[in-house]
Amino acid sequence: MTTNFVIEGLKASIEGKEILKGINLEMKGGEIHAIMGPNGTGKSTLASALMGHPKYEVTAGSVLLDNEEVLEMAVDERARAGLFLGMQYPSEISGVTNSDFLRSAINARREEGSEISLIRFIRQMEAKMKDLDMNPEFLHRYLNEGFSGGEKKRNEILQMMMLDPKIVILDEIDSGLDIDALKIVANGVNAMRSEDRGFLIITHYQRLLDYIKPDFVHVMMQGRIVKSGGPELAHRLEAEGYDWVKEELGIEDETVGQ
């Protein structure tokens, strides 16, 4: 059975203020969906709320991953069910090496007694790091501590590759990347494309979508998806900006508003 991810009427607020005002989206394995939109329209909130960040309170709606209600799961249960969020600002954890962390994360998905062997794990991790053109010393560096913006993003992609999720959400994975790093990150994502994996890519810019070809493009404004289309929509946004969308829909202020 191919992966199936359905968001229905999702509303979420922060400190009592509603940011997501009813998101509807359906994704299947093998598909890449891009969510675009100007700043302050709720894109990152959508990513965090799907993963279950405690700062956001979900007030309505449902999110089904292969017919299971994600919103009833704790953050770690969502991860183990197959959800992955590549974050815009990954946390730094001092004293915990990248490899110890990732091995624990992989073993969290395995039964006690069938943990991944150290040798096998290191080989896998080294191979993926090579694909991402990461210095092998990052195995032993503390998790994200002192990493540059680009190194953090590559590290997010590395984790995605190692954890083999069903649904990948990438939140502004392209921000702060130069063109070479962008290509490497995009190659990493493309290498992970498969029939049983769906991608939800949140981005500001069309640029990333030159390297990761989306099947569907959605525009977010005022905490809702206001327009959906194919890859051509992204090209038009790149060429003409967002004003025509606002005009077409009669929107004056596209942000979630105060």
Could you say which of 9, 59, 93, 248 contacts another protein (CB under 8 A)?
93
Question: Could you say whether residue 74 binds another protein (CB under 8 A)?
Answer: yes
Using CA atoms, how far apart are residues 33 and 30, in angstroms rounded to an integer? 10
**What counts of helices (H) and strands (E) characterise the chain?**
8, 10
Q: Is 172 helix (H, G, I), strand (E, B) or coil?
A: coil
Q: What's the one-letter identity of residue 54? A: P
Q: Are 70 and 78 in contact (CB under 8 A)?
A: yes
Segment 155-174, which members bind another protein (CB under 8 A)?
A: 159, 163
Could you say which of 67, 91, 117, 135 contacts another protein (CB under 8 A)?
91
Using CA atoms, how far apart are residues 184 and 169, in angstroms rounded to an integer? 18
**Smaller CB separation from another protein, 107 or 255:** 107
- Alpha helix stretches (DSSP H) within 88-226: 98-107, 118-131, 149-163, 179-192
Kindly state the smallest distance separating residue 118's Cβ from another protein, in Å.
15
Q: Which range touches another protein (CB under 8 A), out of 25-33, 34-42, 90-98, 217-225?
A: 90-98
- Secondary element (H or E) of residue 46: helix 43-51
Question: Could you say whether residue 140 binds another protein (CB under 8 A)?
Answer: no
Site mask, another protein, residues 194-233, x = CB under 8 A?
----------------------------------------
Using CA atoms, how far apart are residues 228 and 219, in angstroms rounded to an integer? 6
- Secondary element (H or E) of residue 13: strand 4-14
Question: Could you say whether residue 113 binds another protein (CB under 8 A)?
Answer: no
Could you say which of 16, 95, 146, 250 contacts another protein (CB under 8 A)?
95
Beta bridge partners of 56: 14
Kindly state the smallest distance separating residue 254's Cβ from another protein, in Å.
27
Kindly state the smallest distance separating residue 74's Cβ from another protein, in Å.
7
> Which residues, including other chains, have CB under 8 Å from residue 150's CB and lie 6 or more apart?
176, 177, 178, 181
Site mask, another protein, residues 27-66, x = CB under 8 A?
------------------------xxxxx-----------
Q: Whose CA is closest to 35, among 163, 215, 160, 156?
A: 215
Q: Which residues of this protein are in contact with another protein, per CB under 8 A?
A: 51-55, 74-76, 78-80, 84-85, 87, 90-91, 93-96, 101-102, 104-105, 108-109, 142-143, 159, 163
